[in-house]
Structure 1
Amino acid sequence: MAVPTDRGPREQTDEDDLVDAGRRRPGGRVTTFLLILLTVPFVLIAISRLIEVGGTRALVAAAALTPYTVPVGLFLTIAGFALRRWAVALVAGLLTVIMAAVVLPRATPDARPYVQGESARVLSLNMRYGNADAEAVLELVRDHQVDVLSLQELTPTAVDALADAGIDEELPHRVIDARAGAPGSGIYSRHPAERVGTAPATNRQPIARVRLPEGAELEVVAVHPLWPVGADTTDTWQRELASLPAAPPSGPIRVLAGDFNATLDHGPLRRLLGTGYQDAADQTGDGLRPTWPAPGTVLGPPLTIDHVLVDRRCAVEDFGVFDVSGSDHRAVLAEFVVPV
């Protein structure tokens, strides 16, 4: 015997439609497709960074974008929950937490050990084929009482411009390998300096030993490995970073300053740090400040590829980033204490 009901067929259909609508996710298939389209590259970049996949220019370029995974992942997580795409929300949320743990400590100053010694300031700039404004470079040198200046893409014309601007009055000692175009580099010093070698690379990478006023010595390398995203330059870039000298537990204090064409998310640079160096920007909480491209120069996502790597026996005191007209890079300045 059928159980009587007060609801008619139309009322039952309306109620079923409401239930189905409640189960249906907002936005439909188009929204799902767009979320997945954004999530896939996010996941690939995050995973390639975590497991250090490398070797091709595409993966090297992707690794440089690692800091952007945090805001992108946060957006995907919020969007996934709001639109009830639970798989997207959970995957993006988990990877965002992991990537935040990788990236965000660079924005926090590390504890500074006490080191008794004398202070040194090292300034580095890629001059963009020698076109950086020499007067602007000298202004930075004077304002910050720079002890050592490392220049990449130093051309003979730039050497003359620096001389005309008065660099000899501030930094009278030099170890330079100026070349037309991009290969040239040079080191200018306020204190006595001598050439002690050249790091092997496609570009010139002179090494200078600088004697500071209180007797401490620095070995400074003007770093400029080949860029890694050319048609066949990735392997060369890796070899040139690997060939840079380590900072041993004893012996001369070493500093590597220049355009590394690498971020802290590239395996070759992290392995170099493991040979006895510390990234000055990372130590002071400035590790996410971009150095290329300089504002208003070339198109591209801002990246941190210029570094001053300081021997771990030193204590990093300060770090700064400065615009210099004529260059597509920003100058980086590190101040640190050298043990005597």
Structure 2
Amino acid sequence: MTITDAPPGTRPARRRTIGTVLLWLLLLPGLCWTVIRLGGWEGHSPLVPLLAFTPYVAVGAWVPALIGLLTRRRLPGVVALLTAVALAACVLPRALPDLDKGLSRGVALHVMTSNMLFGGADAATIVTLVRENDVAVLAVQEFSPGAERSLAEAGLGDLLPYSQLSPEWGATGSGLYSRYPLTGTGTRINQGGFHQAYGVIQPDGAAPVLVESAHPLAPAGLDLLAGWAGDMAAEPRADPAGTARILLGDFNSTLDLAPLRTLIASGYRDAADTVGRGLVGTWGPYDGDPIPPVTIDHVLADTRIGVQDVTVHNVPRSDHRAVIAGLILPMAS
């Protein structure tokens, strides 16, 4: 007997049952997503790149919640509502400035990171951003010999005369430019083959700070997930007893991925998250690809360093946007 053949009194009950089943099917993906996100259980699975889009899932999770509440389906409605609230709790704080932004008095320092997309990003735009935003430290990723030449021709050396450079053709090169002399310089090579240039600066009146251009492998395929996880685990942790650190670059990770949260928990602040700009996209559609924007470029500052502001800027011929952070360094003791 079909629904249309059923006795009139049973038809609404069957329709309601079918509606309830459909609602459970609608909310189940968001529920599973929430459990994995809260537990940090993505591991080396294909879920790693998907979790970068958690902010979009957080918005969509309100659809089954509203349907459940409006149709008075109590149990699935409550489950859907709890799911939506949990995802909102993960995502929404990034759009709200923290009460504690760290040090408020000290030596001001503007830093910038820019992924140059195989070295082809517009060098003139990068140099203009450095000049107009008083940038004292620039970290570049996907830094090629051609990029080194184009930045030099655009006049970067006049603004940031000190450098630690490791250019390579392709995506693996790294560079660090500074207004201040660099000491203790070097380049680390990650498990995934990407370079990370680093060095110590000490602006006048400030304590020394170690700055590093971060670039772990991208989790762009199943065969790369282990390398990405290894690179993230190898990123230098904050050392409360040692020199303060600033890690800035393309982390190929959003705050919805457990390895990045673990790194930050060692003693860093995510600058954009701190000032309420943590949902501003830095990678995705900026070179024309139909990809929703996500935030994978970060400035991580030791908790002994204050965060004042963060701005994000388009750079022609790159799929990444440049991130500029205004920081406050502790005074020299």
TM-score (norm 2): 0.90
DSSP-derived class of the 1:232 partner: helix
Q: Name the SS of the counterpart of 2:126 in structure 1.
A: helix
Deviations 1:27-85 (A, max 9, x none): x84x6676445423212211101111122341212322222232111111112333455
**Superposition pairs of residues 138-149 of structure 1, within 5 angstroms:** 138-149=127-138
Distance in 2 of aligned mates of 1:119 and 1:204: 28
Distance, in Å, in 1 between the alignment partners of 2:310 and 2:36 is 30
In structure 2, how many angstroms separate the alpha carbons of the residues matched to 1:47 and 1:335?
35
TM-score after normalising by structure 1: 0.89
Per the alignment, residue 259 of structure 2 pairs with 268
Aligned to 2:49: 61
What displacement does 1:262 show?
Answer: 0.5
Letter aligned with residue 203 of structure 2: L
Conserved 8 A contact 1:175-1:194:
no
Write the letter of the residue equivalent to 2:76. Answer: V
Distance in 2 between the 1:68 and 1:305 partners? Answer: 15
Q: Corresponding residue for 1:183? A: 172
Maintained 8 Å contact 2:103/2:307:
no
SS at match of 1:139: helix
1:307-328 superposed Cα distances (whole Å, 9 cap, x missing partner): 0000100110001111111100
In the other structure, the counterpart of 1:109 is 97
Aligned residue type for 2:271: A
Q: 1:38 to 1:178 in 2, by over 3 A?
A: farther
Aligned residue among 100, 114, 135 for 2:88: 100
Query: 8 Å contact 2:102–2:304 — kept in the other structure?
Result: no
Count of aligned pairs between the two proteins: 322
Matched with 1:332 is: 323
User: Equivalent residue for 1:75?
Assistant: 63
State the 1:206 CA deviation: 1.3
Q: Which residue of 2 aligns with 1:44?
A: 32
Does the 8 Å contact 2:253/2:296 carry over to 1? yes
How many angstroms apart in 2 are the aligned matches of 1:225 and 1:42? 28
Secondary structure in 2 matching 1:198: strand
1:129 to 95, 114, 118: 118
1:318 and 2:306 aligned: no
Instruction: Note closer, same or farther for the CA distance 1:126–1:37 as it changes in structure 2 (3 Å cut).
Output: farther
Distance 1:34 1:165 in 2: 59
Identity of matched residues, %: 40
Q: Is the 8 A contact 2:109 2:136 kept in 1?
A: yes
The residue type equivalent to 2:55 in the other structure is P
Give secondary structure in 2 for the equivalent of 1:97.
Answer: helix
Instruction: Verify the 8 A CA contact 1:48 1:63 in the aligned structure 2.
Output: no
- What is the aligned partner in structure 1 of residue 195 from structure 2? 204
Q: Secondary structure at the match of 2:312?
A: strand
Are 1:294 and 1:327, in contact at CA under 8 Å, matched by a contact in 2? Answer: no
Shift, 1:123, TM fit: 0.3
The 1-side partners of 2:103 and 2:198 are apart by: 28
Gap regions ≥5 residues in structure 2:
1-6
